[in-house]
Chain A
Amino acid sequence: MTGGMLTFLLFAVLIPLAVNEAGDLLPSLARYLLRWGARRIGPAGQAERYEEEWLADLESVPGKLTKLAHACGVVIRSVPRLRAQFRPRPRGGPLSRILPGRMMDRIGKQLAETQEIGATLQHVAEMLVPQFADHCCIDLLQGDVLIRRVQQNAGGWTPPAGTWAQVGEPIHFPVGHFCQQAMTRLDTILVTDLAETDIPAPSARSEATAHEVGLTSVISAPLYARGVLLGVIAVARSRLTNRTQRNYTSADRDFIDAVGRRVAIAINDAMTLQGEHQTALASSNPRPRRLLQVLLA
């Protein structure tokens, strides 16, 4: 057999056969892709529904290569969004998973049942004060403004009016403040001994109150979840209670770091749930309107 005959066989017979075979396989591959994509959505009922719906729609797509392109488009565009939409969402559970100790488990269980952000934050503060801290403040961003959402102090002590920001009041931390550093660096900040560190205060009265109450050590952690900065949590020890260890250590910092992460996720979940609740109120919610606008464009 000469080389010329082999070339003829290759180009006139084998390659066309292979192309024809591949062409026949493309619709099957498209169906396989859609089945695989539907199964990736999550809940069995939804997977079955979309598998059948997509396969039926695929039959209306002409051509073989076009079918495969259509299937790829559906898998790439639809599956991640539908998967996110139908994914079962944790309801405050993460916090309960990270809190160590029996007491933390008990309070964590309360948190797991809490879906309202304010109540969730209050539970966190009550968990930390006075066992772990004498003071706990949680501030959340509303737009660009930081608003104090929780302030918990040991022994029923409350700061005089006009000193530390009260719940509901906006607060601005100066550059170099441990809360500002935590939010800027997205890292947990430990100040072991406040007496040895020069920390700028939000105001002179705030600083004076810190001196009066005898603030000794602080930890601040950013509330950062899924790429979004939500706010900051700060805990501090002072002379309000008699405790042997008045200064936080790096182990304490790691603990608050973990708490901050889980609290942020809990807040994020609660916000998502609130958003979904709003979505359910379809007539007054702009989101379905925006979706309709897309189809009407």
Chain B
Amino acid sequence: MGPDEELYGLRIAMNAGRKAGSVYPILARLEEAGWVESFWEREERGERGPRRRFYQFSADGLAAARALLIERRGTVRQRTGRSAPARSPSPVTELLLSGWVAR
């Protein structure tokens, strides 16, 4: 997934391995907290049907997500006693890093 690909609720849910129904409220709360911003898709899709709602990190959310990832890597390192991360990031982490955090 490239950094230019935009993320909508269903895709985030699929990549997170969560039910879409549980992801929408989480996104709403993150949005309310100012960590995530959302916007309607720009292309003229409205004529063909409903528009998608895309999500991306705000500046605060971006910093928090990065801190969380660093913290998580540190925790993994402490658990394993190794200097390198013991496991590769999950698909959603990859997604967040490439699709959201890299913005």
Contact = CB atoms under 8 A, between A and B. Distances in A.
Interface string A48-76: 01111111110111000000001001111
Given A282-B60, A296-B92, A82 B33 contact: no
A18 interface: no
B1 interface: no
B72 interface: yes
A16 interface: no
Q: From A49, A61, A82, A282, name the one whose CB has the most chain B CB atoms within 10 angstroms.
A: A282
Interface residues on B, range: 35 or more
Contacts of B41: 56
Contacts of B20: 57, 70, 73-74, 78
Highest count of chain A CB atoms <10 Å: which of B19, B60, B93: B19
Nearest to A81: B25
Contact of A296 (B23, B52, B60, B90): B90
Given A288-B30, A291-B26, A283 B64 contact: yes
Contact of A295 (B12, B45, B53): B12
B55 to A, nearest CB: 10
A53 B31 CA distance: 15
Contact of B9 (A57, A288, A289): A57
A283 B96 contact: no
Contacts of B25: 77-78, 81-82, 85
Contact of A56 (B8, B12, B16): B8
A292 B30 contact: yes
A296 B68 contact: yes
Interface string B12-46: 10001111111111101110111100000100010
Nearest to A75: B21
Given A57-B9, A85-B29, A288-B29, A297 B64 contact: no
A288 to B, nearest CB: 4
A73 B19 contact: yes
Contacts of A49: 53
Contacts of A292: 30, 35, 61, 64-65, 68
A60 to B, nearest CB: 5
Interface string A148-189: 000000000000000000000000000000000000000000
A282 B18 contact: no
B29 to A, nearest CB: 6
A285 B50 contact: no
A26 to B, nearest CB: 17
A60 B64 contact: no
B10 interface: yes
Contacts of A61: 10
- Give 5 nearest A-B pairs by CB, closest first: A77-B21, A81-B25, A57-B10, A53-B53, A55-B50
Interface of A: 49-57, 59-61, 70, 73-78, 81-82, 85, 279-280, 282-283, 285, 287-289, 291-297
Interface of B: 8-12, 16-26, 28-30, 32-35, 41, 45, 49-53, 60-61, 63-65, 68-69, 72, 90, 92-93, 96
Given A283-B64, A295-B26, 8 more contacts: A53-B9, A56-B50, A74-B20, A74-B24, A77-B25, A285-B33, A288-B64, A297-B17
